[in-house]
Amino acid sequence: EYALYSIAVGLIGDIFRALQEASLPYCDTFMNMLLQMLQSPILNRNTKPA
C-alpha cells in the first residue's frame, strides 16, 4: 500500500505539473481520492502525517 500511495502522489503531481491550469477542474476529485486513501486503516502508518 505504501509504495502504491507514494507512486500515486508522484504521478498526480507529474500530471498536474504537465497540464498546469488545465488540471484545475480535476483538483477536487484527486484531492478527495488522496484523502480517502489516507483515511484507510490498512494504509501503512509511515504514509500518514503525524
d(Cα 9, Cα 3) in Å, to the nearest integer? Answer: 10
* Arithmetic mean of pLDDT over the chain: 83
Does residue 45 belong to any structural domain of this protein?
no
Domain membership of residue 14 as a residue range: 2-38
pLDDT tens digits, 18-28: 999 999 999 99
Q: Which three cell numbers stand for residue 20?
A: 498546469
Does residue 23 belong to any structural domain of this protein?
yes
Does residue 27 belong to any structural domain of this protein?
yes
d(Cα 21, Cα 42) in Å, to the nearest integer? Answer: 34
Question: For cell 481520492, what's the residue?
Answer: 33
Q: What's this model's pTM, rounded to 2 decimal places?
A: 0.65
Question: For cell 488540471, what's the residue?
Answer: 23
d(Cα 50, Cα 40) in Å, to the nearest integer? Answer: 15
Query: How many domains does the structure of the chain reveal?
Result: 1
Q: Which three cell numbers stand for residue 42?
A: 490498512
